[in-house]
Amino acid sequence: MAFLQEKVLFVWFMFSLTSGFTSSRSDHYTPPNLKHLTELFPRLKFNQGFKESFGESNIKLMDNGSFVNVTLDKSSGSGFVSQDDYYYGFFNTAIKLPAGFSSGVVVAFYVSSFFSLSLMSNSEIFPHNHDEIDIELLGHQNRKEWILQTNIYGNGSIKTGREEKFHLWFDPTEQHHQYSIIWNSNHTVFLVDNVPIREVTHSEGISSAYPLKPMSLHCTIWDGSEWATNGGKDPVNYKYAPFVASFGDMQMEGCKWDKTKQVPFCVKSGQGLSILDPVEGEEFAKLSQEQKMGMDDYRKRFMIYSYCKDPRRYKVLPPECNR
């Protein structure tokens, strides 16, 4: 009987290795039934607000532009970008990641002022001073999982990396899942399938590094061999190429930047540069109690790294970590 039990355990263990399942993706986790913010805004096709940014030959429109496949191969990565810059907003996409061995591959969904489309170029307007809010999905070796990394910085504060890393409760290569960013004067929130996983409050502690510049939205796949997997120890293996990621259900609801006047379009009438948050309502100004509980539970289960818990990296933790 003991031999049979050992044999069953061994078979289960080997299955878990070959299937890529580990204990971090708990089959006991059921995401909370929270308000679906992604149902509040229209979906955009590619021609309704985007254009290629690099690797044009590796970009393919699907379903009449409702979905976009971006590819990384030996020749190039690829990506597309919003035609406008935004000052605050809600940004969302559904992403399906490449299956199989993907070490060193980075699939990213982010807003950034570095390649600002309205401001000539960041090097002229904001030298070494750009803002960015990142969702980065980091590839893996065989029998491992994709890692979700979030980051936020303003005024070029790259040296103070504010990364947090998470496991996911699902296999992101099987179907599309929603990844969202809320960015306004109150806070920045990262969400997966409408579940908040991280909130950065616009507090005094982080005020000097809080993103406040107009930013464009980017969707990319690229070679992150130098750092993405095990600190760069496992680079992209192009034997497994091409690596294809699919983006769809694109949503951008925000305050567009006036390229002529260099101010947001949603300025309060007669009140100078007092900005209206483009995504209004209490659900965007702060998290509900249910959302906070859902976020806390997710972080306890799936967060694997936070810069605020890394004293080896920072002898003095960034001020917002003291909250």
Q: What pLDDT is attached to residue 9?
A: 36
Q: What pLDDT is attached to residue 157?
A: 67
136 is catalytic: yes
150 domain residue, yes or no: yes
- For 6-33, what is the mean pLDDT? 52
The answer on pLDDT for 96 being more than 70 is yes
2 domain residue, yes or no: no
The answer on pLDDT for 236 being more than 80 is yes
146 half-sphere exposure, CB direction, 13 A CA radius: 25
Q: What pLDDT is attached to residue 17?
A: 37
Q: Does residue 231 come out as left (phi exceeding 0), alpha (psi in the -120 to 50 range) or beta? A: left
Lowest mean pLDDT among 31-40, 54-63, 107-116, 122-131: 122-131
Q: Which residue has the tokens 């170029």?
A: 121
12 domain residue, yes or no: no
Q: Which one of 132, 145, 253, 320 is the catalytic residue?
A: 132
pLDDT band at residue 234 using 50, 70 and 90 as cut-offs: confident
**Domain tally, the chain:** 1
pLDDT band at residue 156 using 50, 70 and 90 as cut-offs: low
- Amino acid sitting at position 296: D
- For 102-124, what is the mean pLDDT? 71
**Which domain CATH number covers 286?**
2.60.120.200
Closest CA to 49 of 195, 242, 256: 256
208 domain residue, yes or no: yes
219 domain residue, yes or no: yes
Q: What pLDDT is attached to residue 16?
A: 37
The answer on pLDDT for 216 being more than 90 is yes
57 domain residue, yes or no: yes
Q: What pLDDT is attached to residue 66?
A: 98
Higher pLDDT, 123 or 191: 191
The answer on pLDDT for 275 being more than 60 is no
The answer on pLDDT for 194 being more than 90 is yes
pLDDT band at residue 322 using 50, 70 and 90 as cut-offs: confident
Q: What pLDDT is attached to residue 259?
A: 76
Give me the residues paired with residue 179 across strands: 93, 192
**pLDDT, the chain, mean:** 85
∠ CA 107-164-133, rounded to 5° = 60
Q: What pLDDT is attached to residue 124?
A: 42
Range of the domain at 35: 28-322
The answer on pLDDT for 262 being more than 80 is no
18 domain residue, yes or no: no
pLDDT band at residue 276 using 50, 70 and 90 as cut-offs: low
148 domain residue, yes or no: yes
Please tell me which of 99-103, 125-129, 183-187, 218-222 the model is most confident about, judged by mean pLDDT: 218-222
- For 274-292, what is the mean pLDDT? 80
CB of 191 closer than 8 Å to CB of 60: no
Q: Which one of 136, 199, 253, 320 is the catalytic residue?
A: 136
Q: What pLDDT is attached to residue 130?
A: 82
Buried b (16+ CB within 10 A) or exposed e, 288-307: eeebeebbeebbeebbeebb
